[in-house]
Amino acid sequence: MTELPFERVSELMLLCLVPLFLTVATVWILWQALKKIEPGVNIGSFLTFIVVIVPFAMLLCLGAATIFHDEIATSGSPTVLFLNPPSHAIAAGTIIYVGQTAWLWWSWRKQRTPV
């Protein structure tokens, strides 16, 4: 089994985990703000949030990661990441979007259910 050098591991963490964390944190902060502004979030606000805000946050955070990945790949760096942007980016984006949507739906549903 081949081991990844430290540079590759740090690049993977920087280009994969940090944008993912920023995306989730941004969506969580905006969701908390929406709940403060509108305590009884209705279905229209929830769907607007899912269709507009979540993809925008993903585009902002994960799009920056894609630009940085392209810069590393074209700079002639010897530690170019082994990502295949078209297929892996679409799969990762879909998984992240579905995961965030499920998490937000669970949070919204829990908020609407009287205890």
Query: Which domain does 62 fall in, by range?
Result: 44-72+90-105
| 2 phi and psi angles, rounded to 5 deg | -85, 145
**Residue 111 resides in a domain:** no
Tell me the pTM. Answer: 0.67
Residue 56 lies in a domain: yes
Residue 2 lies in a domain: no
62, part of any domain? yes
Asked, for residue 67, whether it belongs to a domain, the answer is: yes
In this predicted structure, which of 42-46, 82-86, 104-108, 110-114 has the lowest mean pLDDT?
A: 82-86
In a domain, 53, yes or no: yes
Q: Tens digit of pLDDT for each residue in 6-56?
A: 666 666 666 667 778 888 898 999 988 988 888 877 888 888 888 998 888
Helix axes 85-112, 54-74, angle to 10 degrees: 160
| Token output for 29 | 């902060």
Number of domains composing the chain: 1
The answer to whether position 4 is within a domain reads no
